[in-house]
């Protein structure tokens, strides 16, 4: 997802008996659905995991501005240009809300950004794929935002108050993102043969990376079990991926698009679609920095940050001058 493979540092998920009294009280609050707030006592592992998860999520929003930002200047109509610009701007806003949520845990935005730029922090693998045609704007909104919403709606109920509140705001704003993507696909499928081919090509390229957003199968993962116990991961990767496939297949059928998976078929008994397995090698390799655009995306972010350093310095310098003058005048 936007936060894939979050390390918890856990070797084994502790039982209640193995916990200290503080940890027991903490776990009892989570089990009772009471939100944990920034200043409350929390296990160090919980704090660290949250910082990792929320900052990954924030980085994904910020880096995620770039693949779509790539088409703002070339949008084919002024209406589509407005919508795309507003959407990419929203993603910046979502990054900002999430950095703020992480900052309540005592880590600065600057530190998180430095970690991203130094390659120490991850962001979602999906944003390392190139956007080659306008139809990719449709596919990203429809599939990538669709996948994000599936993941984020449960996070509105996660155990950490500031994260849950940021997610509520984000989900509210994001409701138009998926629809605008699907709307682009509808227009393309009503259009010329070239536009229809563009739409199918985009689905072909984005389908598997979108399913990879949910991460590898985590039935056996200690990290997932620990995060589940802490109430910051509410469903397994496989459950969410299944939900994505189940909701997307009929949407593709409605558009008249074919999903590029020969193993895809409805399973009457399970009441779900069966589908092929994601390529684990590709997933890990993109996550580790070998995707088609990893280096470019990060380089763009680093350049923006470094080019802006003199500007941020100027803001601070001016504010200090102003405060000093006000002090003298008083």
* Interface contacts to other proteins, rule CB under 8 A: 37, 39-41, 62, 65-66, 69, 72-82, 85-86, 88-93, 95-97, 99-100, 103, 108-110, 134, 166, 169, 173, 184, 187-188, 190-192, 194-195, 300, 303-305, 307-319, 321-323
Q: How far is the CB of 92 from other proteins (least distance, A)?
A: 5
Min dist CB 147 to other proteins, Å, is: 20
Work out how close the CB of 81 gets to other proteins at its nearest, in angstroms, rounded to a whole number: 6
Close Cβ partners of 262 (under 8 Å, ≥ 6 residues apart): 276
Phi, psi of 293 (to 5 degrees): -125, 10
Residue number with CB closer to other proteins (173 or 201)? 173
Strands 265-267 and 272-274, sheet pairing: antiparallel
Among residues 272 and 322, whose Cβ is nearest to other proteins?
322
Task: Write the CA distances from 305 to 61, 103, 117, 228, 301, integer angstroms.
Answer: 16, 19, 9, 35, 6
Query: φ, ψ for residue 323 (rounded to 5)?
Result: -65, -40
C-beta closer to other proteins: residue 17 or 316: 316
CB 36 within 8 A of CB 63: no
Closer CB to other proteins, 76 or 256, in the complex: 76
**How far out from the chain centre does Cα 275 lie?**
23
CB of 206 to other proteins, least distance (A): 18
Tokens at 25, concatenated: 């009280």
The CB-of-105 to other proteins minimum distance in angstroms stands at 13
Q: Quick one: 29 or 243, whose CB is closer to other proteins? A: 29
- Which alpha helices (DSSP H) does 118-236 contain, by range? 135-139, 145-155, 161-189, 193-212, 222-229
Rounded alpha-carbon distances, angstroms, from residue 314 to 248, 302, 308, 311, 321: 48, 19, 10, 5, 10
Query: For residues 232 and 151, what is the distance between their CA atoms, to the nearest angstrom?
Result: 11
- Which of 48, 169 has the CB closer to other proteins? 169
Contacts of 219 (CB under 8 A, 6+ apart): 236, 238
- Beta pairing partners, 266: 273
CB of 94 to other proteins, least distance (A): 10
| Closest C-alpha among 177, 176, 247 to residue 211 | 247
Min dist CB 318 to other proteins, Å, is: 4
* Nearest residue (CB) to other proteins, 263 versus 311: 311
The dihedral formed by the CA atoms of 133, 136, 137 and 139, expressed in degrees to the nearest 10: 160
CA distance 109 to 99: 6
Q: Which is nearer to other proteins, 288 or 325 (CB)?
A: 325
Least Å distance, CB 51 to other proteins, is 16
Nearer CB in complex with other proteins: 16/314: 314
CB of 213 to other proteins, least distance (A): 20
């Amino acid at each position: 997802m936007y936060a894939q493979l979050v390390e918890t540092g856990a070797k084994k998920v502790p039982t209640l008996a193995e916990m200290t009294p503080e940890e027991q009280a903490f776990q009892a609050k989570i089990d009772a659905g009471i939100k944990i707030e920034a200043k409350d006592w929390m296990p160090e592992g919980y704090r660290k995991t949250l910082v990792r998860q929320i900052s990954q999520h924030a980085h994904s929003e910020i880096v995620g501005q770039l693949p779509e930002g790539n088409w703002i200047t070339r949008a084919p109509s002024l209406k589509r240009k407005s919508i795309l610009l507003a959407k990419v701007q929203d993603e910046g806003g979502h990054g900002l809300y999430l950095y703020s949520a992480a900052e309540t845990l005592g880590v600065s935005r600057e530190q998180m950004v430095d970690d991203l730029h130094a390659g120490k922090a991850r962001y979602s693998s999906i944003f390392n794929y190139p956007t080659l045609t306008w139809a990719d704007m449709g596919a990203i909104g429809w599939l990538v935002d669709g996948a994000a919403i599936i993941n984020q709606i449960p996070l509105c109920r996660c155990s950490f108050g500031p994260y849950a509140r940021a997610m509520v705001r984000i989900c509210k704003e994001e409701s138009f993102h998926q629809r605008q993507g699907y709307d682009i696909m509808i227009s393309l499928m009503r259009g010329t043969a070239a536009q229809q081919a563009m739409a199918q090509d985009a689905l072909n390229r984005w389908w598997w990376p979108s399913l990879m957003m949910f991460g590898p199968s985590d039935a056996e993962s200690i990290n997932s079990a620990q995060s589940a116990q802490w109430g910051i991961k509410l469903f397994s990767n496989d459950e969410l991926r299944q939900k994505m496939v189940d909701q997307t297949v009929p949407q593709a059928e409605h558009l008249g698009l074919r999903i590029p998976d020969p193993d895809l078929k409805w399973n009457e008994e399970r009441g779900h679609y069966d589908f092929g397995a994601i390529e684990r090698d590709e997933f890990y390799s993109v996550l580790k920095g070998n995707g088609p655009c990893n280096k470019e995306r990060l380089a763009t972010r680093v350049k923006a940050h470094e080019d802006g350093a003199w500007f941020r310095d100027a803001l601070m310098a001016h504010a200090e001058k102003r405060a000093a003058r006000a002090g003298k005048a008083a």
